[in-house]
Amino acid sequence: MPRKRPLEEPESHDRWLISYADFITLLFAFFVVMYAISQVNESKYRVLSDSLVQAFQNPSRLPNADSPANPARAIVGQEQGGIIGPAPGSTEDEAAIRAMMAQMKALGAELSTLLDPLVKEGLVRVSETRLGLVIEINASVLFRSGQSALEPQATRTLAEVARVLSTTKSAVSVEGHTDNVPIATPLFASNWELSASRAATVVRLFVENGINASRLTAIGHADNQPIEAGDSAEARARNRRVTVTIQATQAVGAPGRPAAPPPVLAPNLVPKGG
Residue 194 resides in a domain: yes
The answer to whether the predicted template modeling score (pTM) of the entire model surpasses 0.85 is no
User: Does an H or E element contain 260, and which?
Assistant: none
Q: Does residue 24 form part of some domain? A: no
Q: CA angle, corner 189, sides to 186 and 193, nearest 5?
A: 110
Could you read off the pLDDT of 32-47 as tens digits, one per residue?
Answer: 888 777 665 666 666 6
CATH code at 190?
3.30.1330.60
Q: How confident is the model at residue 160 (pLDDT cuts 50, 70, 90)?
A: very high
Identify the pLDDT of residue 56.
59
Look at residue 84 and tell me whether its pLDDT is greater than 60: no
Domain contains 216: yes
Coil, helix or strand at residue 248? strand
Q: pLDDT tens digits for 224-268? A: 999 998 889 999 999 999 999 998 776 544 444 444 444 444 333
* Residue 142 counted as domain residue: yes
Neighbours of 31 (CB within 10 A): 9
- Report residue 124's pLDDT band, with 50, 70 and 90 as the boundaries: very high
How many Å apart are CA 173 and CA 249, to the nearest integer? 12
Most confident option among 14-28, 63-77, 232-246: 232-246
| Alpha-carbon span 107 to 109, nearest angstrom | 5
Distances (CA, A) of 194 to 114, 228, 240: 27, 20, 11
Count Cα atoms within 13 angstroms, Cβ side, for 200: 9
- Structural domain includes residue 129: yes
Q: Which residue in 100, 85, 130, 108 sits closest to 264, CA to CA?
A: 130
Per the structure, the complete domain to which residue 134 belongs is given by: 82-250
66 located within any domain: no
| Mean of all residue pLDDT scores within the chain | 76
Mean pLDDT of 87-115: 75
State what percent of residues in the chain have pLDDT above 70. Answer: 65
* Per-residue pLDDT at 81 exceeds 90: no
**For the chain, how many structural domains are there in total?**
1
